[in-house]
């Protein structure tokens, strides 16, 4: 078997990842124009949280927390691992509690990553498409139930087509956790059962930080098999990685099949928590809390940028991989709602910094 290792050619939107054993990608422009990639967007929270009151309809306040409320897995192979994270952020001053989730169909199993959210904290409703036990076109409505600060339900929709003629081994590309600037590689075997004329003609993704090397097809009676190497490039940005590869084939009925890629690129510098609430503070009182800073290499904290003088900081001394930053909030005499993003600057990589959102309420507001 001959294995080719082509370079990538980037298109304007979706990336043409593989040129080996493939027809020119221009033959599939029409199909690819409708491709919708899975993106995870990092949204910078507003420093000022909202208040839930009678003027906000129960359904609306809950829906506003979600970035989106529908997802199409498109065509996927039998047994392929398919998950989608419906992300939500608490935009409000009150704590938000997710009481439960339910699905209208056994083809989708929902789970909650974090059920209680303070102001600006994030969670996800993870919808798992059960491709091992269901086949064909499937859809489900996932209902998310909130019981605090007010009762509400939000409906999320999931759909997809589970193919029986294509399988992946392993069932997803999972490269685990790697450091920023590191690379990772995983081998995948793609098997098609049916016509010996079936061919993969292209491999594409919306992510430019992936590479694919596809072998020549191995053909036996009723089976066409490809071996594919998936590489994560050193340019992959930090954070969670949830991407998809789209396999383009010469099957006119089902020209595309999706495969998920998951992992995490560990940031060189992190802060925990990323959002911290001081709760309700009495006028004139002072409350102290701590945030933790971790680095891949020893670093020093050089300054904390915060325009609100009610917040004071004790900068840790020395250069090390772990620092504790003490934060004090001195409440004024007047009732107020407080929300402030701070930036902690270090000597790492010419001033690399991280941010944290601080919130609180001075009693009486």
The span from the CA of 2 to the CA of 16, in Å, is: 21
- Mean pLDDT, the chain, rounded, equals 85
**What pLDDT band is residue 49 in, cutting at 50, 70 and 90?**
low
Global pTM? Answer: 0.72
Task: Return the closest-CA partner of residue 126 out of 104, 169, 156.
Answer: 156
Domain locations in the chain as residue ranges? 9-265, 269-362
Does CATH number 2.60.40.10 belong to domain 269-362?
yes
What tokens does 57 get?
């309809």
* More confident site: 34 or 336: 336
Of residues 361 and 32, more confidently modeled = 361
In this predicted structure, the answer to whether residue 13 has a pLDDT above a threshold of 60 is no
Question: Per residue in 163-177, is it b (16+ CB within 10 Å) or e — as a string?
Answer: bebbbbeebbbebee
11 falls in which pLDDT band (50, 70, 90)?
A: very low
DSSP 305-330: E-S-TTEEEEPPPS-EEEEEEEEEEE
As a whole number, mean pLDDT of residues 250-256 equals: 93
Mean pLDDT in residue range 275-292:
93
The mean pLDDT value for 181-194 works out to 95
CATH of domain 9-265: 2.60.40.10
């Amino acid at each position: 078997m001959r294995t080719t290792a082509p370079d990538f050619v980037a298109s304007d939107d979706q990336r043409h990842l593989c040129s080996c054993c493939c027809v020119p990608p221009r033959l599939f422009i029409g199909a690819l124009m409708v491709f919708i990639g899975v993106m995870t967007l990092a949204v910078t929270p507003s420093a000022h949280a909202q208040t839930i009151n009678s003027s906000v309809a129960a359904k609306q306040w809950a829906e506003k927390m979600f970035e989106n409320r529908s997802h199409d897995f498109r065509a996927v192979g039998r047994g392929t691992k398919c998950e989608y994270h419906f992300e939500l952020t608490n935009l409000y001053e009150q704590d938000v509690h997710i009481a439960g989730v339910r699905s209208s169909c056994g083809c989708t199993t929902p789970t909650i990553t974090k059920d209680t959210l303070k102001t600006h904290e994030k969670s996800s409703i993870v919808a798992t498409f059960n491709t091992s036990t269901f086949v064909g076109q499937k859809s489900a409505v996932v209902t998310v139930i909130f019981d605090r600060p007010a009762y509400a339900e939000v409906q999320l929709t999931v759909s997809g087509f589970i193919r029986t003629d294509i399988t992946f081994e392993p069932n997803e590309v999972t490269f685990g956790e790697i450091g920023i600037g590191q690379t990772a590689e995983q081998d995948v075997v793609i098997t098609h059962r049916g016509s010996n004329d079936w061919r993969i003609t292209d491999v594409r993704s919306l992510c430019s930080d992936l590479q694919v090397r596809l072998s020549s097809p191995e053909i036996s009676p009723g089976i066409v098999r490809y071996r594919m190497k998936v590489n994560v490039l050193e340019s992959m940005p930090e954070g969670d990685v949830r991407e998809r590869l789209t396999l383009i084939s010469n099957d006119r009925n089902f020209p595309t099949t999706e495969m998920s890629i998951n992992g995490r690129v560990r940031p060189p510098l992190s802060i925990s928590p990323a959002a911290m609430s001081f709760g309700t503070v009495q006028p004139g009182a002072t409350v102290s809390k701590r945030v933790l800073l971790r680095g891949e290499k020893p670093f020093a904290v050089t300054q904390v940028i915060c325009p609100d003088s009610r917040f004071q900081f004790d900068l840790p001394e020395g250069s090390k991989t772990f620092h504790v930053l003490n934060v004090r909030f001195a409440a004024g005499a007047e009732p107020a709602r407080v929300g402030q993003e701070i930036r902690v600057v270090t000597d790492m990589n010419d001033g690399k910094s991280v941010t944290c959102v601080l919130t609180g309420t001075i009693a009486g507001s």
